[in-house]
Each structure stands twice: as structure tokens, then as C-alpha cells.
Chains A and B, each alone.
Chain A
Amino acid sequence: MDFLVNLIQGFSVALSPWNLVFAAVGAIIGTAIGVLPGLGPPATVALLLPVTYKMDPASAIIMLAGIFYGAMYGGSTTSILLNIPGEAASVVTCLDGYKMARNGRAGPALGISAIGSFIAGTVSVFGMSLVAPSLASFALKFGPPEYFSLVLLGLMMAVYLSEESIIKGLAMAAFGLLLGTVGIDPVHGATRFAFGISRLLDGFDFVVVAMGLFGISEVLINLEAPEIRDIFKTSLKGLLPTRDDWRRCWASVVRGSFLGFFIGVLPGGGAIISSFISYAVEKRVSKHPEQFGKGAIEGVAGPESANNAASTSSFIPLLTLGIPGNATIAMIFVALMIHGIRPGPLLLQEYPNLFWGVIASMYIGNIMLLALNLPLIGMWVRLLKVPYHYLAVVVVIICVIGAYSVKSAVFDVGTMVAFGVMGYLMRKGGFPPAPLILAMILGPILERSLQQSLISSGGDPSIFIQKPISAALLCVAAFLILTPIIKRLWRRKNVNESA
């Protein structure tokens, strides 16, 4: 009963005229950046942070959340029509979506991805309304050792799921932890690694670093390649899937929704991995696995549902545990901090309007996105014809404004450019930027909980394995990092034996 009362309270926040406008703005921007290859959700949320400075916190998060799940809807359009994923979570949609378009079935492919996304998003929001309060009250029992292990697990998940090698992910996480220590130490008041630069006394600002790593570096990467966008010309009539399509893929939508929800809840889990797992599951359970890769509608319905469900449920670790699971959620974490709100188990008690308002806005946002995606597909396709150089210059200008707005200092703009170059080189060398930004944000929490735990145990590190929850979390973290190494050694041993 409490659940319904809270949700009604949330709807009273989300249905206010301004919040409806912000949800719509977020959904539209999200769909647009999902459609446009070369600008991902983390960069967009980072770029729009300055816009939220003077907004009400609930409105700000409603808009930024809309961008995140909107991008999942929009990402499928470029995958299906261009064979270019608008964002990483839609990579797998290219496999069958583009083939469907080639077979003259672009309409049903776009239609099922929008409808599947809507169903999955709604299922996920409903699950979130049920799970989040219980998880938040459970997390209230956490002490410093449990928090340390939880944050460490979140970091290890981000490393594990980073596309590149695990060891490079670990190195980036360590680099991020060090970047997080720059400035005045919050415990002792000592200045660390500021090198006499007064602007560094407060440390590197997350917004500045994120804009450089995700915004500027993305522009630099995209400028390397020649600008070729061959939009596949096909009929976009008949967007609604046929009865036969529905018969084939309704179960894929249901499976994708639940799978995406559960993967999204895991700290570090998210839309990308859920879409790949969903594709693998659909292929395995299909009676016609040979049709996968040749235009099977289940190969579009499952992953598109899964990535949308996961993007919604990945808010759960943020809102209940204070752990951002991926780079976009990390930017929303920063947005909350900018407004003086500390994400975590107490958020539900201290800011119920924000918590339930954001959840309710997701129900509304999903309906808005369905309305936006199906009738406006023609408009989104036309957006793809805008030359990239216009988008690039807009991104650069907004990055300059965003970095400058943090402290009204050109120093921050220079720092952003430096991190842009660093991000560019990191991507070229296969060093993933997401663990760096997550570690930078989580570093201070990790440091505080580590010090508190060690002080309370008299310097005995076994406190982390004496507490059952902490021990379990550490075991999972160790398992994640060690599994690929053991697998690799095992494979090498087998190769040597067979040789």
C-alpha cells in the first residue's frame, strides 16, 4: 500500500507542467543523440550538466534520466537503417535489424524496437518501484567495511565490463583513484598533488574531466574518419509488426525485459552487456537459430528490450546504494552532488519527492518516447543527414561553456582540453575511459570507508572478510577479475598440451 501512496506522490511531482516539459526535452535530446552516431549518452549528460545548475534537483534528474533511456530508443534507428550503432548498446541490433531493412522490412524492425523498448522500460520501472525501497533499507545496515567492499565491487564490475582488456581497465581505475586524491584531503586537511596551483586545491572537477574524456575525445576520434553516411533507402511504411512478427517475438520482448532488468541492477551492469546476453539467449532458444544474422525479428526485439530495461534499472544502485554503475549514471551522480544531494540509502528518506518523482517520470517518459519514436521516425532519419561538422562545432562550444561554468575559470577549459587529448590517446591505445571516471568519483568514498574500517579494527584488514556481507561482495569482485585470467591460463595450457 505504501508503494502506491509513494508512487502517487511521485506522479504529483512528475506531472507538474515543468517536469513534463523537462521529461519531454530529455526524451527528445536522448533520442536525437541515440540517433546521431558519434555522441554518446555520457558525453551528452556531461554537456548538459551546466544547464541544470539553476534547475530544481528533481527536474534536473528527470531531464538527465530522459536523455539516458531516450538514447536507448534512438540508438536502434541508426543500427537498423545505417548498420552504424548510434550508441554502444545498439551494436547487436545491427546484426538482424540492418538485414531486415535490406529485406524491405525496416518498418517492422524500427516498430518492434520502439514497442519492445516501451514494454521493457515499463516493466523495468515497475520492478524498480518494488525493489528500490527494500534495497535502500537493507543498505542502511551497511557499515564502512561493507561500503568499502561494495564500492570496490562496483569498480571491478565497471572494469570487467569495459570493452578492452581487464588489466587496462584496472590501470585506468587506479589512475582515476589517484586523480580523485588531488586537492585538499577531506580527512586531514593536507594538500595533495596540487603542485602549488591554487585552482587545484578543490581537485579536478568531474564535469571538466568527463567533458574532456567523453565529449572532446569523441569529437577528435570522429574527425579522423572521413564523413560518410550512406542512409539505406527503404520504405518506412508499415511500422507496426505483423501478427506473425508478434507471434515470433513476444516472448523475446518478455525475456529481454526481465534479463535487462536484472543485469541493470548489478553495480557495473548495464545496457551494453544486457543486449549481447539477450541476443545470445534468443539465438539459443530459437527454433530457427540459422535465421539469426539474416534478419530474424527476435534478434532485434530481445536486445532492444533488454538494453532499455537495463538502462532504467541501472538507476537502482545509484539511488539506493550511491554507486554509479556506468559512465552515464556517474554523470547523474555528479548532477545530484552539484545540487547538494548525496545519493545513497538515505536519499529515499531525505528526498522522497525526488526519488519517487524520478521513478514516476520514467513511466511518463516511456510513453512519450513511444509517441516520439514511431510517428517521428522520418524526422530522426532526416537528422542523420546533418553533416557531422555542425555537430562537432556545437559539441566543442558546449564543452567550452560547460567547463568554464564550473568556476568561471579559463583554467578549467584548458584542463578539459588536456583531458580531451588524454581521452583520445587512451581510446586509441585501448584504455577504457569509463573505469577512470567512475574511480575518480568513487575514490573519496572508497578512501573514507577504508580509513574508517581500518581505524575501527585497529589496523586489521581481516575486518573486510569477517563481516559476511563484505566478504561476499569481495568474493564476487575477486571472482570477476580472476575468472578471465584463469580462463586464459587454462586455454593456454590446453593449447600447449594439444601441441
Chain B
Amino acid sequence: MKNRSDAVGSLFLFLLGLGAIIGAIRLKVGSPTEPQPGFFPFLGGLSLVIFSTVIFIKGWVEQGQEKVAFGEIGRPALLLVVMIALVAVLDSVGYVIGTFIASVLILRILNAKSWRTLLLTSFCLSIGTYILFDKLLGIDLPVGFLVRLGL
């Protein structure tokens, strides 16, 4: 395979399209005169299967394609870990504490040098956005265990 990213991408899309076709058949496709819930997903799945096959063949046939260059992969990966952890604890620890800890970690990962600036920035961000969005704009953000303290 000359272009590995196209191969992986097209394979993923092919499987997705195939899954959509199977799902659409289970939902019942119907006919053009009497389209059923699976009619449109069937067409979408079929299109995806065709296009992904073409991408796969093109990737196979064409030469001189460069590999996908991932730069410094560590920083995006760590950011992702922090975000997944935030999603896991957001409801229980609440928005303010959750985003404060997440901001500290993210800024640390991104090489913010001074701890004082880092803590101050994170504090201002979590409190500031909470006041702006929850209190002023009326968007209910999770309070977490602080609700037991009547906050």
C-alpha cells in the first residue's frame, strides 16, 4: 500500500458504510414509491462504500504520496487524556473545580513556565467563565459535590 493514511481512512469509512447498509436493510429500505426509514441511510451507506473503495484503490495505485507527518504527538495526546478525565469527573466534581484542575494540567503540558501565572490564569478562567456563562448567560453548568454545601 503506497499511502497508509488513505488505506486506514478508507477502510474505516468502508466499514462504516457497510454497517450503515446493514442497518438500513434491518430498518427496511422500501422502494422509491414507498421509501421506508432505511431508504436514505441505504443510499448514504452505498455512496460511502463506493467512495471509500475509490480512495483505497487510488491510494494503492498512485505513487509518490508522502506519509502523514505527525509532529510532536505527545502534547495533543496529553491534552486528550486531560479532556477525557475531565469528561469522566465533570458531573461529580463540578465545573469550577473540574476546569480549574484541567486548566492547570493543560497549561503545564503546554509548557507554561511560572506556577504562579499558571494557577492564577486557571483560577480566573474557571471562575470567570462560570460567572459569565452560568450566572450572567443562564447556562446551567454542573455544580458537582459543591451542591451539598449549598453552593
Contact = CB atoms under 8 A, between A and B. Distances in A.
Query: What is the interface of chain B mostly: helix, strand, loop, or mixed?
Result: helix
Give chain A's interface residue range (CB within 8 Å of chain B): 35 or more
B37 A389 contact: no
A483 to B, nearest CB: 17
A219 B79 CA distance: 9
Nearest to B134: A401
A389 B34 CA distance: 55
B33 A171 contact: no
Given A192-B23, A450-B40, A429 B33 contact: no
B75 interface: yes
A424 B76 CA distance: 10
B79 A396 contact: yes
Contacts of B71: 224-226
Interface of B: 5-6, 8-10, 13, 16-17, 20, 23, 27, 31-41, 44-45, 47-48, 51-52, 54-55, 58, 68, 70-73, 75-76, 79-80, 83-84, 86-87, 90-91, 95, 99, 102-103, 106-107, 110-112, 121-122, 125-126, 129, 133, 137-142
B141 A401 contact: yes
A175 B91 contact: no
6 contacts: A171-B52, A224-B72, A389-B110, A397-B129, A429-B68, A459-B31
Contacts of B5: 428-430
A254 B133 CA distance: 43
Interface of A: 50-51, 53-54, 165, 167-168, 170-171, 174-175, 177-178, 181, 185, 187-188, 190, 192-193, 216, 219-221, 223-226, 387-390, 392-394, 396-398, 400-401, 404-405, 408, 410, 413-414, 417, 420-421, 424-426, 428-431, 443, 446-447, 450-451, 454-455, 458-461
Given A216-B83, A405-B141, A413-B86, 6 more contacts: A53-B138, A167-B55, A170-B47, A174-B47, A225-B72, A451-B39
Query: What is the interface of chain A mostly: helix, strand, loop, or mixed?
Result: helix
B48 A413 contact: no
B137 A400 contact: no
Contacts of B121: 390, 393
A421 B83 CA distance: 11
Contacts of A177: 40, 44, 47
